[in-house]
C-alpha cells in the first residue's frame, strides 16, 4: 500500500468523525474553537490508536491467514464502506449537541474509530508502515474534525451525508484494488 493509498484510507476513515463533528458545529450557536480542538484531539487520537491495536491483533494471526489476507481486506473494507454509505442515506443526525465533556467525547471517539480497528488488522496483512499510516490517519482526522465543526457551524448538515458517502466509496474501492492486485488482475488505480 503506497503513500497515496494511505492518504485516501485516512480520509475515508476520518469521514465518520467529520460527520459527527459537523453535528457538533451545528449545535453551537457561535463557533467555539476550544471545543473544536477538543473534538479534533479526541477523534484524531482514537483514529490513530485503533489501527495500532488492530495491527498488533492482525500480526498475531498473520501466519494463519496469509493465503486469504486480500479477501479479508476486501471484505472488511467493503463492510465498513457499505455501512458508511448506508449511514449516508439515513435521515437522523445523531449526537447533535455541543457537549465536549470527556464522557461524551470518549464514547463518540470509540464509536467513530471502530472501523479503524478493522483497517489496522488489514494493515498487518498488507505489511503497511504502521507509523506512517497511523500518523496520517490521526493528523487527517484531527484536521477534518476541526473543519467539520466549523462547516457544521456555518452550513449546517448539508455536507454530513456527502462526507459519509464519499468515505464509504473510497473504502470499497480500496478493498477492490487490494483484491485485484492479489489476484493479479488489471489494476484500476
pLDDT in tens, 67-126: 676 787 788 778 877 877 887 787 555 556 778 889 889 888 888 888 888 888 888 878
pLDDT in tens, 136-174: 999 999 999 999 999 888 876 566 677 777 777 877 887
pLDDT in tens, 35-67: 999 999 999 999 999 999 999 988 887 667 666
* Domain residue ranges in the chain: 3-182
The Cα 110–Cα 117 span in angstroms is: 10
Given the C-alpha cell 484494488, which residue does it identify?
177
157-171 burial, b at 16+ Cβ within 10 Å, e below that, comes to eebbbebbbbbbbbb
The Cα 60–Cα 82 span in angstroms is: 27
The Cα 101–Cα 98 span in angstroms is: 9
This prediction's pTM: 0.73
Q: How far apart are the first and last CA of the chain?
A: 12
Amino acid at each position: 500500500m503506497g503513500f497515496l493509498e494511505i492518504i485516501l484510507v485516512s480520509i475515508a476513515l476520518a469521514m465518520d468523525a467529520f460527520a459527527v463533528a459537523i453535528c457538533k458545529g451545528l449545535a453551537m450557536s457561535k463557533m467555539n474553537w476550544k471545543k473544536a480542538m477538543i473534538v479534533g484531539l479526541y477523534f484524531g487520537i482514537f483514529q490513530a490508536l485503533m489501527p495500532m491495536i488492530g495491527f498488533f491483533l492482525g500480526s498475531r494471526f498473520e501466519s494463519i491467514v496469509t493465503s486469504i489476507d486480500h479477501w479479508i481486506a476486501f471484505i472488511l473494507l467493503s463492510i465498513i464502506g457499505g455501512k458508511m454509505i448506508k449511514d449516508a442515506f439515513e435521515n437522523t443526525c445523531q449526537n447533535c449537541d455541543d457537549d465536549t465533556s470527556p464522557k461524551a467525547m470518549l464514547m463518540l471517539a470509540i464509536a467513530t474509530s471502530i472501523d479503524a480497528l478493522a483497517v489496522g488488522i488489514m494493515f498487518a496483512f498488507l505489511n503497511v508502515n504502521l507509523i506512517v499510516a497511523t500518523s496520517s490517519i490521526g493528523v487527517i482526522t484531527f484536521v477534518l474534525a476541526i473543519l467539520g465543526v466549523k462547516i457544521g457551524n456555518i452550513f449546517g448538515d448539508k455536507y454530513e451525508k456527502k462526507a459519509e458517502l464519499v468515505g464509504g466509496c473510497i473504502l470499497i474501492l480500496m478493498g477492490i484494488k487490494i483484491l485485484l492486485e492479489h489476484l493479479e488482475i488489471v489494476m484500476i488505480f
